[in-house]
Chains A and B, each alone.
Chain A
């Protein structure tokens, strides 16, 4: 497999340097831009396999850059954002970002996210049978097994789980899940989501209080994690 090209758009030279070293030492090719304008031109001329986009750029708001990129760019975009801006993150995810990381971040975490995003991006058509440890999900037969035993899920629970599985590793926002499962009229009825996530966890997690599959992204949403 060819080395993946990752483009970094961030105005902070130190962050760019840090990302360059971390990414190159993990066999990615890095291309950089220090502002929105250069970033968009570079991405158009040499489309990368993935973009890491900082939301706080000097020449243009990160959200508007994200929207413009999403008009034509279909590969993954990972958002970098400074601390304590849940609204920003939710907005970016709803506008088509695949994932986010809050500054300051651990490079180990960043690399794990990149691997997960790129893997999902390559396997565009999801394998109908997904196996994660003791959990087996057959999307074509609509069957879920845990430790080889059939798990009985209600229609809503199954709908939620299949969304998670199809978007493995990706953060799904509260609004997204409510809209997809219950419909557009329910996007502010987060109590349904809370109840069903708790129920689903009781059925598929080893310890529902310390979930390993459906992980909470506080104030933002949930993420399905497949730890092989």
Chain B
């Protein structure tokens, strides 16, 4: 019989079953001087019922058998024999045995039914979650595709009716849509790379200053309205880590901030080096995260309640995945007076090889 998680292992179950019956019998034996043997039958019966609540069916049936034998041998007169003299006692023993069995089987059945209901519910939840994800994902992928198809159709079929301005606008929409599509596909590829479990950080010496400025430049090329300021200690050492992964982490965090903060928000990027730990902080003065959702934002496909469309809910889970693949941690907190702060800590070898000026 398969034993589900959380219940004692099978040999322990038999041990508990036999032990409990013996204890109940000992109690019965102790009180047999003033309590009648019928009262002891009830004590044993209660024991079997209690066992059936948390043990598998086989140990419970064993308890039922054992307790019936014990009752017969130790308590039904003549005591210390299996002999039963009166018809009443025979009937009682038989009924004792049936009640114990029915008890065991019924409880077991109820537990089985509960288990099936729970599994069904879990499955339904998974299906529901999966459908939500699929809907959001297909929406995020199909919207830009619809834009591209629609715009190109219009350009092909109504070229005579379109003003020069219309044409420029349509082409700009195609460009925006393909950029968006490219980002979404990039996210999905990163995610599947992480999920495959085959990612090994490729470590090499990184100039954090150079890396952060490069990422910020890429983001600023997308014509964002927020102001990004960078604050890195000029004496920060070189760190040995996976440049591509770190870039992706910083890119996703800053990109996330530019997408979900007001246009006049300010984004601060800071990097510090401690003893063999690189710390990167990305802070904004936007609206922060709802406190009850902070714990969920790194979950795959999680989107804030009421979030605008245009994201897959993958960006931050990739941040977490890559940071952890590098052996680091990521933390999110709201800050005062307002805004959010992401703190990344990554352990890495450092090199202070900075004074080679005479070579």
Which residues of A does B touch, CB under 8 Å? 83-84, 86, 104, 154-156, 174, 190-192, 194-199, 209-210, 216, 218-219
Known: A209-B213, A210-B217. Contact between A190 and B244, CB under 8 A?
no
In the bound complex, do residue B214 and residue A195 qualify as a contact, i.e. CB atoms below 8 Å apart? no
From A104, A155, A190, give the contact of B359 (CB < 8 A): A155
In the bound complex, do residue B356 and residue A195 qualify as a contact, i.e. CB atoms below 8 Å apart? yes
From B211, B244, B353, give the contact of A195 (CB < 8 A): B353
- A-B contact count, CB below 8 Å? 55
In the bound complex, do residue A190 and residue B354 qualify as a contact, i.e. CB atoms below 8 Å apart? no
Question: Can you spell out 30 A-B residue pairs with CB atoms less than 8 angstroms apart?
Answer: A83-B186, A83-B189, A84-B244, A86-B244, A104-B182, A154-B358, A155-B359, A190-B205, A191-B205, A191-B238, A191-B351, A192-B353, A192-B356, A194-B205, A194-B210, A194-B238, A195-B238, A195-B353, A195-B354, A195-B356, A197-B207, A198-B209, A198-B210, A209-B213, A216-B210, A216-B214, A218-B211, A218-B243, A219-B244, A219-B247
In the bound complex, do residue A218 and residue B354 qualify as a contact, i.e. CB atoms below 8 Å apart? no
Residue of A with least CB distance to B242 = A219
Known: A154-B357, A218-B244. Contact between A194 and B214, CB under 8 A?
no
Least distance between B255 CB and chain A CB atoms (Å): 16
From B209, B247, B354, give the contact of A209 (CB < 8 A): B209
In the bound complex, how far is the Cα of B353 from the Cα of A228, in angstroms?
35
Which residues of B does A touch, CB under 8 Å? 178, 182, 186, 189, 204-207, 209-211, 213-214, 217, 230, 238, 243-244, 247, 351, 353-354, 356-359
In the complex, chain B residues whose CB is within 8 Å of the CB of A192:
353, 356
In the complex, chain B residues whose CB is within 8 Å of the CB of A209:
209, 213, 230
User: Given contacts A156-B359, A195-B238, A198-B210, could you give 19 more A-B pairs where the C-beta distance is less than 8 Å?
Assistant: A83-B189, A84-B244, A104-B182, A154-B359, A190-B204, A190-B205, A191-B205, A194-B205, A194-B207, A195-B356, A197-B207, A198-B209, A199-B357, A209-B209, A210-B217, A218-B211, A218-B243, A219-B243, A219-B247
Most chain A CB within a 10 A radius of its CB, from B189, B205, B358: B205
In the bound complex, how far is the Cα of B244 from the Cα of A199, in angstroms?
23
Least distance between B86 CB and chain A CB atoms (Å): 87
Least distance between A62 CB and chain B CB atoms (Å): 20
In the bound complex, how far is the Cα of B214 from the Cα of A190, in angstroms?
18
In the complex, chain B residues whose CB is within 8 Å of the CB of A218:
211, 214, 243-244, 247
Most chain A CB within a 10 A radius of its CB, from B178, B211, B357: B357
In the bound complex, how far is the Cα of B243 from the Cα of A84, in angstroms?
13
Top 3 nearest A-B pairs (CB, nearest first) are: A191-B205, A194-B207, A156-B359
In the bound complex, how far is the Cα of B356 from the Cα of A156, in angstroms?
10
Residue of B with least CB distance to A174 = B204
In the complex, chain A residues whose CB is within 8 Å of the CB of B247:
218-219
Least distance between A24 CB and chain B CB atoms (Å): 20
In the bound complex, how far is the Cα of B213 from the Cα of A214, in angstroms?
14
Known: A83-B186, A84-B189, A104-B178. Contact between A196 and B207, CB under 8 A?
no
In the complex, chain B residues whose CB is within 8 Å of the CB of A190:
204-205
In the bound complex, do residue B207 and residue A198 qualify as a contact, i.e. CB atoms below 8 Å apart? yes
In the complex, chain B residues whose CB is within 8 Å of the CB of A174:
204
Least distance between B214 CB and chain A CB atoms (Å): 5
In the complex, chain A residues whose CB is within 8 Å of the CB of B214:
216, 218
Most chain B CB within a 10 A radius of its CB, from A192, A195, A196: A195
In the bound complex, do residue B353 and residue A191 qualify as a contact, i.e. CB atoms below 8 Å apart? yes
Known: A191-B205, A210-B217, A218-B244. Contact between A196 and B189, CB under 8 A?
no
Known: A154-B359, A216-B214. Contact between A194 and B182, CB under 8 A?
no
In the bound complex, how far is the Cα of B206 from the Cα of A197, in angstroms?
12
In the bound complex, do residue A210 and residue B213 qualify as a contact, i.e. CB atoms below 8 Å apart? yes
Least distance between B193 CB and chain A CB atoms (Å): 8
Least distance between B126 CB and chain A CB atoms (Å): 30
Least distance between A91 CB and chain B CB atoms (Å): 14
In the bound complex, how far is the Cα of B45 from the Cα of A192, in angstroms?
82
Residue of A with least CB distance to B220 = A210
Least distance between B122 CB and chain A CB atoms (Å): 36
In the complex, chain A residues whose CB is within 8 Å of the CB of B207:
194, 197-198
In the bound complex, how far is the Cα of B357 from the Cα of A155, in angstroms?
10
In the complex, chain A residues whose CB is within 8 Å of the CB of B358:
154
Residue of B with least CB distance to A103 = B182
Residue of B with least CB distance to A191 = B205
